[in-house]
Amino acid sequence: MTQGWPERLWVVRHGESAGNLARRAAMAAGGTHIETGGRDADVPLSPLGERQSRALGRWFAALPEAERPEVVLTSPYRRARQTVALIQAEGGVVAAPCDILQDERLREKEFGILDRLTRHGIAQHHPDQAEFRRLLGKFYHRPPGGESWCDVILRLRSALDTVSLRHGGARVLIVAHQVVVLCLRYLIENLDEAGIMAIDREGDVANCGVSEYAFDPSRGRDGAPVLLRWNFVAPLEAEGTPVTAEPDAQAGAR
């Protein structure tokens, strides 16, 4: 039987971005809007985010060549692509150029009319949506023009099917965004709403934080991935690189 899961799977949040800094500034000032100067898809890494990405790349590079990622899947958003490029520049992957793939299904959660609003901004400009979210919970609440966590999970089911069909038995690195990292954990570990919301309440996913899974052929009928590390930031700490876990600029309604 062909193995349907990667032999090793790493899921990584991008390095700190300029949007993370903009959100922090807006929250500190008590503002309603987060100013990023353009589309969310175009927000770059901050200088610290570049350092974080390089530190993670050196951690991967320190692994034996036969243990490094050989397939890379990335969100098409600039900050994720930059993270991948810097990991690659430090020798952290052995993937050929044709095995470094952008996948739009890994993009950030879309926030619709709540895009780039702080919690204060949402309460001021869209109090009805703040109430809907309170009643429904973040897992099911879908802002107009945006996505719920369930919507993100739906597209990620398709992305994982592609991973299974094309990259079973391989060593795969996924670089994406905070909600995507959490929703992938929900899918891979077959969690329910209460389970993933409990994990979410523990704290934000760190920039360049690593989730690592290893395939266990003894689990279930066809084998399954087993979580080895969650939100692992030792590669940054080992180099004295500051660890950050700021939500993205759009995450007032995350």
Query: pLDDT per residue over 63-117, tens digit each?
Result: 999 999 999 999 999 999 999 999 999 999 998 888 999 999 999 999 999 988 8
Is 209 a domain residue? yes
Examine residue 32 and state whether it is found in any structural domain, yes or no.
Answer: no
**Which residues are annotated as part of the binding site for substrate?**
13-20, 36-37, 79
Within 8 A by CB and 6+ apart from 220, the residues are none
Task: Kindly state whether residue 128 falls inside one of the protein's structural domains.
Answer: no
**Structural domain containing residue 148:** 8-22+43-113+142-233
Distance in angstroms (rounded) separating the CA atoms of residues 145 and 78: 22
Which residue ranges make up the annotated binding site? 13-20, 36-37, 79
Q: b or e along 87-99 (b: 16 or more beta carbons within 10 Å of the residue's beta carbon)? A: bbebebbbbeeeb
- Is 146 a member of any domain? yes
Euclidean distance between CA atoms 130 and 115, whole angstroms: 13
Q: Is residue 251 part of a domain?
A: no
Q: Which residue has the tokens 């869209």?
A: 126
Return the CATH number at 78.
Answer: 3.40.50.1240
Total domains, the chain: 1
The pLDDT tens digits for 163-213 are: 999 999 999 999 999 999 999 999 999 999 999 999 999 999 999 999 999
Whether this prediction's pTM lies above 0.95 is answered by no
What's the rounded Cα separation, in Å, for the pair 196 and 209?
17
* Predicted pLDDT at 161: 95
Q: Which residues are catalytic?
A: 14, 108
- Is the residue at 254 inside a domain? no
